């Protein structure tokens, strides 16, 4: 067996299910705020394109995907991030959801023969970064996202040695779970570090289309690189997904884009792995990347939910609406794991304890004392969840269960 498998942490959902295994004895229907699975209706145009293309079931596809899809992605990127040119043949690659690609990129770029191959990841983080890094033979270095740094990774805490050993840096902007956006200046600083210490930046931007202010969409890594004059996006690669943008997590469709040299290596890696996107998914994805109407509407639905949650929960539980994403990252009055379990047993509302989304680093688990709420159910369910949480805090809290 590959010994690196043994060093992987317990899978998040396995750990979570152990926490909420007991039967709930209250007569309340379950409300799921624990999984970041969008529940708004998938757009009709995407469903129709999928159905219309099912004849593709008879064919294999290749890793590169269709010209139409890559062109649709390139022109979406150009428009969204104000890039004068993205080459659809050399700088874009469709992937079957970003999770597999975020995991795969580490297998592709980490050179475990080098002494101390390090992979920098935010903390809290999305699981695929850590597991990808470990299986590729990299050593994770955590950058804590604390309240003191506005829940952004504290890059000033990274030692010179860690920067020198760094081969791959994952960033997540807007972030899961905090909903924070890495400012353009920080992205530019990271790009300069990548040049100086010769590492690759993998920017997970799968929440980039869910933001609060219609006039200030989050900056992307390619946008920052372009503004610095790096038209080849050297050492920069971004990950985008339709799952959250278009409410189609089951479609398994996203893309990576950026530095053509990395894209080429990744394409080679993926060819052997056999990661190809079925043609009917490519057809539906092409339509999705060309349509912005449903995305604008989607953002509005999340804004309404954030506002309602804040209205109901404050001041019982202070609510800070994040600039982007569909998550609330809330401080708990008792330890987050106890809060999660009691809330589940008493109110049948499922949330994720923050400490399960982070690792202890420099003596702190930055998720401790927080819970993550994914505002994915329909508005009425979010309202109901907010009232149950409020009532739970006001009447049901005990220190330990």
Say how far apart CA 339 and CA 98 lie, in whole Å.
Answer: 31
Contact in structure between 259 and 236 (CB atoms under 8 Å)? yes
User: CA 34, CA 223: separation in Å to the nearest integer?
Assistant: 32
What is the distance between the alpha carbons of residues 373 and 382, in angstroms, rounded to a whole number? 10
202 neighbors 128 (Cβ within 8 angstroms):
no
Kindly state the smallest distance separating residue 97's Cβ from ligand PLP, in Å: 3
CA-to-CA distance for 339 and 345, rounded, in angstroms? 10
Q: Judged by CB, which is closer to ligand PLP: 254, or 353?
A: 254
- For ligand PLP, the closer of residues 117 and 174 by Cβ is 174
Q: What are phi and psi of 112, to 5 degrees?
A: -75, -5
User: In the numeric block, which tokens belong to residue 27?
Assistant: 């007569």
Is 291 in contact with 278 (CB distance < 8 Å)?
no
Of 230 and 256, which has the nearer Cβ to ligand PLP? 256
The sheet carrying 370-374 orders its strands as 327-331, 370-374, 352-353
Handedness of CA 100, 106, 109, 113 (dihedral sign): negative
Q: Considering the complex, what minimum distance in angstroms separates the CB of residue 206 from ligand PLP?
A: 4
Q: What's the min distance (Å) between Cβ of 40 and ligand PLP?
A: 15
Burial of 40 per CB tally in 10 Å (0-12, 13-18, 19+): middle
Closer of 317 and 324 to ligand PLP (Cβ): 324
Given the complex with ligand PLP, which of 61 and 96 has the nearer CB atom? 96
Q: How far is the CB of 99 from ligand PLP (least distance, A)?
A: 3
Q: How far is the CB of 379 from ligand PLP (least distance, A)?
A: 21
Write down the least CB distance from residue 241 to ligand PLP, Å. Answer: 3
CB nearer ligand PLP, residue 43 or residue 249: 249
Question: 245 or 388: whose CB is closer to ligand PLP?
Answer: 245
Strand 352-353 relative to strand 370-374, pairing:
antiparallel
CB closer to ligand PLP, 247 vs 346: 247
Nearer to ligand PLP, 251 or 312 (CB): 251
CB of 387 to ligand PLP, least distance (A): 26
Cβ proximity of 35 and 17 under 8 Å:
no
State how far the Cα of 111 lies from the Cα of 117, in Å rounded to an integer: 7
| β 349-350/31-32 pair status | parallel
Minimal distance in Å, beta carbon 208 to ligand PLP?
11
Is residue 226 classed as helix, strand or coil in its secondary structure? helix
Cβ-count burial of 30 within 10 angstroms (0-12 exposed, 13-18 middle, 19+ buried)?
Answer: exposed
Q: Of 88 and 177, which has the nearer Cβ to ligand PLP? A: 177
**Minimum CB separation from ligand PLP for residue 42, in Å?**
13
What minimum distance in Å lies between the beta carbon of 274 and ligand PLP? 18
In whole angstroms, give the CA distance from residue 119 to residue 136: 10
Tokens of 165: 């050993």
Q: Residue 184: helix, strand or coil by DSSP?
A: helix
Which residues sit at the interface with ligand PLP, rule CB under 6 A? 36, 97-99, 102, 126, 172, 176, 204, 206, 241, 243, 249, 254
């Amino acid at each position: 067996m590959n010994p690196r498998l043994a060093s992987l942490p317990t899978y998040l959902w396995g750990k979570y299910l152990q926490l909420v295994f007991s039967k709930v004895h209250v007569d309340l229907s379950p409300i799921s705020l624990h999984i970041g699975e969008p529940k708004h209706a998938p757009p009709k145009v995407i469903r129709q394109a999928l159905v219309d293309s099912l004849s593709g079931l008879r064919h294999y596809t290749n890793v590169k995907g269709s010209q139409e899809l890559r062109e649709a992605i390139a022109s979406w990127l150009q428009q969204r991030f104000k890039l004068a040119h993205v080459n659809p043949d050399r700088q874009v690659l469709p992937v079957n959801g970003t999770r597999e690609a975020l995991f795969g990129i580490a297998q592709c770029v980490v050179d475990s023969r080098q002494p101390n191959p390090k992979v920098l990841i935010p903390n809290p983080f999305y699981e695929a970064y850590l597991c990808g890094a470990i299986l590729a033979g990299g050593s994770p270095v955590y950058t804590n996202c604390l309240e003191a740094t506005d829940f952004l990774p504290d890059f000033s805490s990274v030692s010179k040695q860690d920067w020198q050993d760094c081969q791959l840096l994952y960033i997540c902007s807007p972030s899961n779970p905090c909903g924070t956006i890495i400012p353009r200046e920080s992205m530019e600083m990271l790009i300069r570090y990548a040049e100086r210490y010769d590492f690759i930046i993998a920017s997970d931007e799968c929440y980039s289309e869910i933001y609060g202010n219609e006039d200030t969409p989050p900056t992307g890594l390619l946008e920052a690189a372009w503004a610095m004059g790096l038209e080849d996006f050297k050492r920069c690669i971004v990950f985008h997904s339709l799952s959250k943008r278009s409410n189609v997590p089951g479609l398994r469709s996203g893309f990576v884009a950026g530095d053509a040299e990395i894209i080429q290596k990744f394409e080679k890696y993926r060819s052997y792995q056999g990661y190809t996107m079925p043609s009917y998914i490519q057809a539906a994805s092409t339509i999705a990347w060309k349509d912005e109407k449903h995305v604008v509407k989607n953002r509005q639905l999340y804004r309404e939910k954030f506002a309602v949650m804040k209205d109901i929960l404050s001041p019982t539980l202070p609510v800070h609406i994040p600039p982007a994403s569909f998550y609330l990252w809330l401080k708990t009055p008792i330890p987050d794991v106890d809060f999660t379990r009691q809330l589940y047993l008493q109110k049948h509302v499922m949330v994720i304890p923050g400490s399960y989304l982070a690792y202890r680093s420099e003596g702190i688990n930055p998720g401790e004392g927080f819970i993550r709420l994914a505002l994915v159910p329909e508005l009425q369910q979010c309202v109901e969840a907010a009232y149950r949480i409020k009532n739970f805090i006001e009447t049901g809290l005990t220190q330990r269960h």
